Amino acid sequence: MALLKGKTALVTGSTSGIGQGVAEALAREGCHIMLNGFGDAAAIEVQRSGLEKQYGIKALYSGADMRNPAAIHAMVEEAEKQLGGVDVLVNNAGIQHVAPVDEFPEEKWDAIMAINLSSAFHTVKAVAPGMRQKGWGRIINIASVHGLVASAYKVAYVAAKHGILGLTKVVALDLAEAGVTCNAICPGYVRTPLVEKQIPDQAKTHGISEAEVIEKVLLKNHAVKQFVEVADVAALVCFLCSDAAKTMTGVALPMDGGWSAQ
Ligand code: NAD
């Protein structure tokens, strides 16, 4: 029996990478899905209709820009109207920029703060009344091991990911008596387009080859010497949605190959 049959999930940034895998795993568990993110319209339609066909659920797509609070509220309203509410919210949309602090562009700082941190405040604020009304909800923030530790050249990303762990704790307390949990997952490196894009940038910044970036930068702190897999992050999201996780709230769960143990 599908774990989440009849529930509805909104996954921000679900047209690629981790979010795409999370949306599929939740659909497999019977959730109706609101997809969100950017990308090629035809490819997104293939993804949306594919979820409906394969899992027998209803899937919608919103191109809401996570920098725009009004667009976020409109996306949640659409999910409430067309899919009957948002029971599971996965704040996943995120971007990265790599540069030393004294060269870090102001507009990149602002965009990373807006997408990786502030959007989660706006989505939570928009879904919380509906979750309270139903007396059930699951909020899962895809943070990062960079919510727990820092790496050079990532001032905005590390600040935003540390911030989202603070948001996770407060939301967990504010909604605790409403049957709503809020947790964060802190993955190490997952080989998605976001990471692929960093490889040439890091090679340039560190003055090393792309192969060396993988070995000496990306997997340096993974004790297990392998990337984290999207499907494993998605499986943890499904666990956090299960009844067995009902008393887990306000926590940051690393899935980082042993990075934060060091
Ligand atoms: P990705 O680049 O593959 O996907 C990012 C998604 O966010 C895409 O769907 C994109 O369209 C969407 N997006 C970007 N800007 C947006 C905006 N303004 N409005 C709406 N959607 C927007 O990246 P990913 O690696 O799958 O990362 C997903 C999340 O996981 C991010 O929050 C990232 O920080 C986090 N994370 C990734 C890794 C990793 O190694 N890949 C590790 C830890 C945490």
Whole-structure pTM value: 0.97
Q: Return the number of other C-beta atoms located less than 10 Å from residue 8's C-beta.
A: 24
Domains of the chain: 8-188+229-254 (3.40.50.720), 189-227 (no CATH)
Rounded distance from Cα 168 to ligand 1 centre (Å): 18
Rounded distance from Cα 136 to ligand 1 centre (Å): 26
Over the stretch 91-134, which tens digit does the pLDDT of each residue have?
999 999 999 999 999 999 999 999 999 999 999 999 999 999 99
Q: For residue 190, which atom of ligand 1 is closest to its CA?
A: 40
Over the stretch 157-181, which tens digit does the pLDDT of each residue have?
999 999 999 999 999 999 999 999 9
Handedness of CA 50, 55, 60, 64 (dihedral sign): negative
What SS3 class is residue 190? strand
The single residue of 55, 61, 157, 189 carrying the catalytic annotation is 157
Residue ranges around ligand 1 (CB below 6 Å): 13-19, 36-39, 65-67, 92-95, 115-116, 142, 144, 187, 189-190, 192-195
Phi, psi (deg, nearest 5) at residue 35: -80, 155
Handedness of CA 18, 94, 3, 52 (dihedral sign): negative
Rounded distance from Cα 117 to ligand 1 centre (Å): 12
